[in-house]
Amino acid sequence: MSSRREILYIASAPMDGTLDPFLRQHEHSVRMTFASNSEQISATLQMPARWDVILCAEQKYQELLENDLWPSERQPHAALVVLQAENSTISAAEAIRSGAVDALPANDIAHLLAVCERELSLSDLRRQASGNRARVLATIEHIGSRTKLPKNSKQPIPASPSRIKKLMDDGGLLLQFQPIVALKPRQSQRNLFEVLIRLRQESGELMMPDEFLPTAITSGWMPKLDTWIVRKSLATLRQLQQSNAHPSTLFINLAPPTLDDFETMDTICTEIAKAKIEPGSLIIELNRDALVDLDQQKAIKRMADSLNSKQHGLLLEATNINDCSLIETHHQHLHYLKLDSKLIGSYTNKPTAQTEIREFIACAQRHEIGVIALAIENAEFLPHLVELGIDAIQGHCISMPYEELIYPMMQHI
């Protein structure tokens, strides 16, 4: 994984060269991205895992707060620094109370450089703390669907980097497969599965991704881990074909750090090109933020070309109903989109928003892009999804993930 740190600068105009010496000094480890208009700002703030430091001009910060455009969930990894205007109306204390780590005069160059050095050096600690927080929240959110520990059982040992690495080195990594079920049965429909990574602990219990992937990301292990997942998945597809099983398609996630690693992407593309698997049996999943990252677009283009040559495809996840322009721009590379059920559910009682969702789905379907609803936990929601035009669903109400490829039987709704 690239160890490069990311600074986001939000202002009306680009910085006047203030940080140029600092960026040149750290040219291989620090990159700064500029965002000025509402579309750029909205797109960049939807990349919570990317930014290490966000420098925001006071005027833009006030506009975001006043118009309720600042994300309600603060960027978990980023240190927000407010750059005060000459006649500032916000104090450092007020900025800190609203979620910033500091506020300083925009023309105080020495102070700004010191803050950038300080916050970039603390980035790994923030990411680790964010990973711990995410693990706790995920445990709370899914507590009803997970197996409860016996009363007398011991709590899991904290997952330190050294322990996670030892579990991986000892062969603890394994794959599970969760079905993606079509709501519109088609002739000769393939069985669809998302590939999920798990880590077996010393006790035999499985560690969920949110318990070890944040550490894998900050430790630089994701490119190697994603390569292992791809190879293991390709081997699974070959075994299925050799056993004359029902045709299946596997959906595999690639992490942003993997897209940033040219050698790893080259290896993965080569592995896919060489694999003796049926056309249409592999879909690579990418986060929608990757399509607005100029550095990652080249890697995505090459991956898309490699997949298309074998009639495989790409899926874009974490999409929202404002992404029609993104779909129009990149539709030639996309085969599927994923919408989180919470996003759909939040618009259930809003007629105008339902129209927006229908338009989004229609935009995808105009380009023959399938739309998958993710994390469906309640079967009562299924007729609503069918009525909206969703093509397929994935969630615990249909099937839990298993180490075997078990596909549920489901009647047409």
Query: Do residue 71 and residue 197 come from a single domain?
Result: no
In the chain, the amino acid numbered 283 is I
- Cα separations (Å) of 163 from 45, 215, 342, 372, 374? 33, 11, 34, 36, 31
Q: pLDDT at position 321, please? A: 75
Give dist(CA 103, CA 96) in Å, integer.
Answer: 8
Q: Residue 250's closest CA among 223, 266, 231?
A: 231
Query: Do residue 223 and residue 345 come from a single domain?
Result: yes
Query: Do residue 68 and residue 171 come from a single domain?
Result: no
Q: How many domains does the chain have?
A: 2
Residue pair 241/278 in contact by the 8 Å Cβ criterion: yes
A 10 A CB-CB count for 349 gives 8
Q: Residue 10's closest CA among 68, 58, 49, 52?
A: 58
In a domain, 117, yes or no: yes
In three-state secondary structure terms, 354 is: helix
Domain span at residue 174 reads: 160-393
Q: Measured on CA atoms in the order 276, 277, 279, 282, is the torsion positive or negative?
A: negative
Query: Do residue 262 and residue 199 come from a single domain?
Result: yes
Query: Do residue 213 and residue 356 come from a single domain?
Result: yes
DSSP H helical segments within 219-347, as ranges? 222-242, 256-260, 262-274, 294-308, 324-330, 341-345
Q: pLDDT at position 27, please? A: 63
Query: Do residue 312 and residue 221 come from a single domain?
Result: yes
Cβ burial, residue 380 (10 Å; 0-12/13-18/19+): exposed
Q: What is the pLDDT of residues 75-100, one digit of tens each?
A: 456 888 999 998 888 887 778 777 78
Per-residue tokens: 271:
């592995």
Instruction: Give the CATH number, domain containing residue 120.
Output: 3.40.50.2300
Give dist(CA 75, CA 54) in Å, integer.
Answer: 9
In the chain, the amino acid numbered 195 is V
In a domain, 151, yes or no: no
Q: pLDDT at position 77, please? A: 65
Helix axis angle for 222-242 and 209-218, nearest 10°, is 130
In a domain, 144, yes or no: no
Give dist(CA 350, CA 348) in Å, integer.
Answer: 6
Phi, psi of 262 (to 5 degrees): -60, -45
In a domain, 61, yes or no: yes
Q: Residue 47's closest CA among 33, 61, 27?
A: 33
In a domain, 68, yes or no: yes
Query: Do residue 101 and residue 187 come from a single domain?
Result: no
Residue pair 208/198 in contact by the 8 Å Cβ criterion: yes
In a domain, 398, yes or no: no
Which residues of the chain, if any, have pLDDT below 70? 1-3, 27-28, 48, 68-77, 126-159, 184-188, 294-295, 341-353, 376-380, 409-413
Query: Do residue 247 and residue 326 come from a single domain?
Result: yes
Query: Do residue 351 and residue 244 come from a single domain?
Result: yes
Query: Do residue 192 and residue 303 come from a single domain?
Result: yes
In a domain, 93, yes or no: yes
Q: pLDDT at position 142, please? A: 38
Give dist(CA 287, CA 374) in Å, integer.
Answer: 14
Residue pair 3/223 in contact by the 8 Å Cβ criterion: no
Give dist(CA 189, CA 192) in Å, integer.
Answer: 9
In a domain, 166, yes or no: yes
Parallel, antiparallel or unpaired: strands 334-340 and 313-317: parallel
Query: Do residue 237 and residue 358 come from a single domain?
Result: yes
In three-state secondary structure terms, 32 is: strand
